[in-house]
Structure 1
């Protein structure tokens, strides 16, 4: 199972907190996506607890993401025998990319394509150009396998929470302002919301392959 919000296959929603998957699982097919992992400090998780509490006061119950990352592709289906060639194509294209700084400190509300889940995330404000350059190379690798490329003009972000359904209106306005205030005023937030992208990861099923940047 993936924490990536955009594409998930159809199955028993009761096993996934009410989330709806959008493509059916088939033997030999592996749901896969490319991303930059974000490994938060303990203090970052404390900040998330405060955000969750504020949202609850506004009537929104949020569920914390199981892991944190910046997506660099949509979730696509790879045949088993495509996995190694696809990852090698990524390695070849990314071998000369240098590590870079990302700062993600602006809260933003997102909804998946099917409008079945709403997300609260931190948008990247520093590192967007470098992420777009990486996406360009990832897209080329996807095209080699006739797979769908990433979104046009993406909003790079780290998803923090999700909830079932389309609840954008409940999170916007005063709620979002109060949530952003938590981030802005949290001790050492300027440190907690910045990290270096020093490797690109590709997750296929439950297997993660990492590509170090130079």
Structure 2
């Protein structure tokens, strides 16, 4: 009978198929592993804690972040002159003034008198003479901008300037009104500094300072256009300055340092003595 008989060619086919099957099983074992081992490996990858990032990486770009907010209630009702965008840094150049006790006492009298006239003023957080308008710098411009200022100030010398006459100012948008005290000596030296600052502004295609600036120290401010109301009481306020204790109060600045504020950074440049 021919039952169970196979030719030699059929035996070879069966043998080849058996070898292929064993190879397939071995490859499957290598590639997929058994389900239990695969499950254990997955569990290990899930439970294994990740290493924390080094602190230097976390703070690497912190300098590029300028803390800003559009909520005017957090800034005494002040409104931005331009919208904040990430990477844009509000920048201005100025001469600082460190207030003395006599100045602080006079300022409180001025605020009280203005309030009695219906004008509620908020004192400035810091006092200075502006040498530029507020412009916008891109973050990568900050270093070359400040280096340009530094180079331009090489031949500028330290000087004194004085103020004495009160004046009312407002910003271009009429969103804030200021009480300031105007400079009457040192005007020529201030114009020289403005020339240096303007050249740097032009180098970066930014807006320069006013052609005929009224140099002054801003003392206090209020929200909105209160120019008319403030001018109505300016004579009474000026009387406080002119009749202050032993004589007219004179605010004197020792202009030995120019500063540039950009975002949350302040750069200082010493003038030659």
| TM-score, L = length of structure 1 | 0.91
Q: Which runs of 5+ in 2 are unaligned?
A: 1-67
**1:209: which partner in 2?**
267
Q: Does residue 143 in structure 1 map to residue 202 in structure 2?
A: yes
Asked if the contact 2:93/2:261 (under 8 Å) is kept, the reply is yes
Q: CA-to-partner distance for each residue in 1:118-166, whole Å, 9 max, x for gaps?
A: 0000010111111111101100001111111111201111000000111
- In structure 2, how many angstroms separate the alpha carbons of the residues matched to 1:13 and 1:189? 40
Q: Which residue of 1 aligns with 2:145?
A: 86
Give distance in 1, aligned partners of 2:250 and 2:124: 17
Identify the residue that residue 21 of structure 1 maps to in structure 2: 80
Q: Does 1:71 align with 2:125?
A: no
Query: 1:77 Cα shift?
Result: 0.9
Residue 105 of structure 1 deviates from its aligned partner by 1.0
CA distance in 2, matches of 1:27, 1:55: 39
The 3 A distance-change label for structure 1 pair 188 and 20 is farther
CA contact (8 A) 1:29 1:78 kept: yes
Instruction: Give the gaps of 5 or more residues in structure 1.
Output: 1-8
1:1-214 pair list within 5 angstroms: 11-173=70-232, 175-187=233-245, 193-214=251-272
* Distance in 2, Cα, partners of 1:115 & 1:10: 21
Please state which structure has a larger fraction of its residues in helix. Answer: 2
- Provide runs of 4+ in structure 1 moved above 2 Å: 187-192
Name the structure where strand makes up a greater proportion of residues: 1
Query: What SS does the corresponding residue of 2:195 show, helix, strand or coil?
Result: helix
Matched position secondary structure for 1:172: helix
Query: For the aligned residues, what is the CA RMSD?
Result: 1.5
TM-score, normalisation: structure 2: 0.72
* Larger CA Rg, structure 1 vs 2: 2
Quickly say closer, same or farther: Cα 1:170–1:198, change in 2 above 3 A.
Answer: same
Q: Distance in 2 between matches of 1:61 and 1:53?
A: 8
Q: Tell me which of the two structures has the higher relative contact order, counting C-alpha pairs closer than 8 angstroms and 6 or more residues apart.
A: 1
Count of residue pairs brought into register by the alignment: 205
The answer to whether the 8 A contact 2:91-2:263 is kept is yes
